[in-house]
Amino acid sequence: MPFMPPGTEAVAAWAMSQRLRFDPRPDQSWFREWEPFETMVAPSGYFGAVSWSARRLSITVAEPWTEEFDTEPVDRTILAFASHPELRHRASMRIGEHFLTRVSYVTTPPPPQVKLDDAAWDEHAVTHAVSARSAAAAFPKQLRGLLRKQSFSGHLEMRAGGAIVYLGNRKPVPAHYQELLTTTQQIVSAALSRK
């Protein structure tokens, strides 16, 4: 990766001001361990990783570079990767159509689309899981309520030990890094609730 995306310096300065770890060219193998994604495009690489941790939760937000490194992507965005040992269920969901979720499946399709018998959720969210029961465990009532309250638009993939969060229309700028960090903390907290 011989270059740095525009705006890296601003993100670095913000991360330093917030006492967050910043790595402009993070270890790519760490991110590759999160792949493949169920319903998102895997990028060529990742830039500008900002990391935060407290107790058993750690979150890294980074920019996925979706084109070859000498080509400007169709759009730029950020993803959050959250690790917490109490996350145990696997399912993915999306609300809205986004460039990262326009995926063609060549080898392994995602789990089937399921409904949760939650009219407000099922009307807006496309949910994939091995069963409706698995999806309901991954997206408990409190998490579904939080996402509705936030008018969530994006992609959320839950798995054993972690979660991947994509908010639509967010760019690799300090304010959006902060928003995604905060939103991801709230999502994990709600996912761990069993109410």
76-86 tens-digit pLDDT: 999 999 999 99
Give the pLDDT score at 114.
97
d(CA 46, CA 4): 11
pLDDT in tens, 165-188: 999 999 999 999 999 999 999 999
* pTM, to two decimals: 0.92
Domain boundaries, the chain: 8-192
Give the pLDDT score at 2.
62
pLDDT in tens, 45-66: 999 999 999 989 999 999 999 7
CB 156 within 8 A of CB 131: no
Taking all residues of the chain, what is their mean pLDDT, rounded to a whole number? 90
Q: Greatest CA separation found in the chain?
A: 49
Find, among 143, 138, 91, 87, the residue nearest to 113 by Cα.
91
Give the pLDDT score at 110.
77
Is the pLDDT at 1 greater than 80? The verdict is no
pLDDT in tens, 92-126: 999 987 666 655 554 667 789 999 999 999 999 99
d(CA 37, CA 121): 22
